Copies of this chain bind each other. A is one copy, B any other.
Amino acid sequence: MADEQQNTCVDCTQMSDCFRVLSKEELELVGQKMVRLSFRKGEIIAKQGAFATHIMFVKSGLVKLYRESENDQNDLIINIYAADNILGLSSLFGDSIFHYSVAALEDSSLCLIEINIVRELVGRNSDFSVSVIKRLSRNNLLAYEILYAVTHKQLNGRMASAMIYLAREVFESSGFTMPLSRKELAEFTGMSVMSAVRAMKDLRQNGLIGSENGRIEILDMERLEQISKFG
């Protein structure tokens, strides 16, 4: 964690649509209660159990949101977020404790915004609160989707779903550099590391995805979706 810098926000060129609805005055308010931080790959951005004092806007990079395991050291990766996403919204009005951790998957830059100012914005700017509700809703439906996958699909189907999700939702491209280690891939799909390796091997051998030194290419989306649905 380094490279701290105050930011005015008003003249920020890469702000989220969430903040685009704010007035100039409100943006200045945010700027005063905001700090921009750089995180190296692997660094923890928010710790499960800690006080939720801020929300996190991903300015650049890639982060994972995950739940830590109380027994073993197998976490559960709930979601992957690229730039332009906001994390921590589900802790806005609850017990003010993070019920998940967030860590950088690659070198990332985030804006941490004090939670009080965000609460205030929800109160005074209805466009902003609509935006918050939209994001929470999306996360909700996605969680249901994953829950269904984990309970009803088997290994290859879950891995296929994960590949499709990464391509479509995270990278918005049929090819991408795999940001997850095998262990993380296992934690994302709810299987053991060995099973994750085998599932990836299967998809590759059947010509569904290409995989060369860390670069993933979706080769046959149609069949991949078939497996994702019925595997």
Contacts and interface: CB of A to CB of B under 8 A. Distances in A.
Contacts of A78: 144, 147
A20 interface: no
A70 B134 CA distance: 26
Nearest to A139: B140
Contact of A136 (B126, B130, B133): B133
Copies in the complex: 2
A102 to B, nearest CB: 13
A74 B143 contact: no
B126 A91 contact: no
Contacts of A76: 147-148, 151-152
A67 B137 CA distance: 16
A165 interface: no
Contacts of A143: 140, 143-144, 147
Contacts of A92: 133, 137
Given A137-B90, A139-B140, A229-B70, A147 B148 contact: no
Given A126-B122, A190-B151, A100 B133 contact: no
Interface residues of A, number: 42
A134 B94 contact: yes
Given A67-B148, A147-B150, A148-B67, A137 B74 contact: no
A186 to B, nearest CB: 10
**For the complex, would chain A's binding face be called helix, strand, loop or mixed by DSSP majority?**
helix
Q: Which 8 A-B pairs have the closest CB atoms?
A: A143-B143, A151-B190, A136-B136, A90-B140, A129-B129, A90-B137, A123-B126, A93-B134
A171 interface: no
A143 B174 CA distance: 29
A94 B130 contact: no
A70 B225 CA distance: 14
Contact of A94 (B137, B145, B146): B137
A230 interface: yes
